[in-house]
């Protein structure tokens, strides 16, 4: 049996609302029509999609699988509708951005302020996630673009290099003697307590850098944010890998000292991730035009 695409819309709103009656209200049709549509869809797909409960309906395992894909599809439909609506004007609309806490705070924020001043009618939504999670959100159609740490790769995603960033090794004031001495060989890193971000592209980058010199990093602490790395380093817990650009004030005031490495960490870049083959809205294009 051929499936009517409108059946999927009915299924989607039942799953979203958890109720046949609320789905009927949302779609401006009768509840019997909703019930009949679901019976047709279940017959066409060959399986039950909902369990009826006293509080409404609950998805079956098969229903959960279908909803996962339909949610992505409807997200892409929304993107298409927004692109058309915003084609001739930036007086309204929405931009959804994915970025880590660090990149949002130290890289993205000035551009958010600039764009908002120019286009106050455009709503901006920022979701803070790691680079792998940001890429996953992009592929699901939940964000328009992502600000990520490079290197990163995915066949479905296009990465444009943006501003350069330079990683460095820092410690608290108690490491000043080490900072003033000869450069620390990479092979000697594990002789000191290390503070490293857990997971994500930065951790992978550091692991690959160390592995290239025959070293496996063995951190004393694995932390969830750069702010925590900085605080722990300032408190003397060990040496932390951070982005030099983002700790200039701490280095200037002596709260942190930079430990020279031999060889030094190579420069890398911030990346702007967009989904291949998916057109960008006018608002998204205007925002991306601000970025280096």
Give the pLDDT confidence of 141-163 residue by residue, as tens digits. Answer: 999 999 998 888 899 999 999 99
Give the per-residue pLDDT at 102.
87
Find the range with the poorest average confidence among 25-34, 106-115, 196-205. 196-205
**pLDDT surpasses 90 at 87:** no
Give the per-residue pLDDT at 271.
96
The count of C-alpha atoms lying within 13 angstroms of the C-alpha of 58, restricted to the half-sphere facing its C-beta, is: 7
Q: State in words which class domain 91-164+270-290 has.
A: alpha beta
The average pLDDT across 264-291 equals 93
**pLDDT surpasses 60 at 121:** yes
First to last CA, the chain: 52
Give the per-residue pLDDT at 88.
56
> pTM of the predicted model, to two decimals?
0.65
**The two domains 91-164+270-290 and 167-266 share their CATH topology (first three levels equal):** yes
Q: Which CATH architecture has domain 167-266?
A: 3-Layer(aba) Sandwich (3.40)
Q: How many CB atoms lie within 10 A of CB 279?
A: 12
The average pLDDT across 171-192 equals 93
Distance of CA 175 to the CA centre of its chain: 34
* Cα–Cα distance, 21 to 35 (Å, whole number): 9
Residue 218: which pLDDT band, with cuts at 50, 70 and 90? very high
Mean pLDDT of the chain: 91
> Please, what's the b/e burial string for 266-277 (b: 16 or more CB within 10 A of its CB; e: otherwise)?
eebbbbbbbbee
Give the pLDDT confidence of 2-53 residue by residue, as tens digits. Answer: 678 899 999 999 999 999 999 999 999 999 999 999 999 999 998 999 998 8
Give the per-residue pLDDT at 133.
92
* Higher pLDDT among residues 89 and 249, named by residue: 249
Third-level CATH fold of 5-84: Arc Repressor Mutant, subunit A (1.10.10)
**pLDDT surpasses 80 at 89:** no
Q: Where are the domains of the chain?
A: 5-84, 91-164+270-290, 167-266
Are 233 and 250 within 8 A, CB to CB? no
Give the per-residue pLDDT at 28.
93
């Amino acid at each position: 049996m051929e499936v009517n695409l409108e059946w999927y819309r009915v299924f989607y709103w039942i799953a979203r609302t958890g109720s046949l009656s609320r789905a009927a209200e949302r779609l401006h049709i009768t509840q019997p029509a909703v019930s009949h549509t679901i019976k047709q869809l279940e017959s066409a797909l060959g399986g039950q999609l909902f369990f009826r409960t006293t509080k409404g309906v609950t998805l079956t395992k098969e229903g959960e699988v279908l909803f996962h894909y339909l949610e992505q599809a409807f997200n892409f439909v929304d993107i298409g509708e927004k692109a058309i609506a915003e084609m001739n004007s930036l007086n309204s609309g929405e931009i959804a951005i994915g970025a880590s806490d660090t990149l949002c705070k130290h890289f993205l924020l000035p551009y958010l302020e600039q764009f908002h001043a120019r286009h106050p009618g455009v709503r901006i939504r920022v979701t803070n996630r790691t680079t792998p999670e940001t890429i996953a959100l992009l592929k699901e159609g939940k964000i328009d673009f992502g600000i990520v740490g490079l290197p990163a790769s995915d066949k479905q995603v296009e990465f444009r290099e943006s501003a350069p960033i330079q990683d460095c090794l820092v410690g608290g004031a108690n490491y000043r003697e080490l900072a003033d001495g000869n450069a620390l060989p990479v092979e000697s890193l594990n002789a000191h307590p290390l503070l490293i971000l857990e997971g994500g592209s930065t951790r992978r980058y550091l692991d690959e850098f160390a592995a290239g010199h025959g070293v496996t990093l063995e951190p004393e602490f694995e932390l969830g944010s750069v702010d925590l790395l900085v605080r722990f380093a300032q408190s003397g817990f060990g040496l932390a890998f951070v982005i030099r650009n983002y700790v200039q004030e701490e280095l200037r005031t002596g709260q942190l000292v930079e430990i020279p490495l031999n060889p030094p960490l190579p420069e890398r870049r911030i990346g702007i991730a967009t989904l291949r083959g998916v057109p960008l809205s006018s608002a998204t294009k205007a925002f991306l035009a601000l970025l280096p």
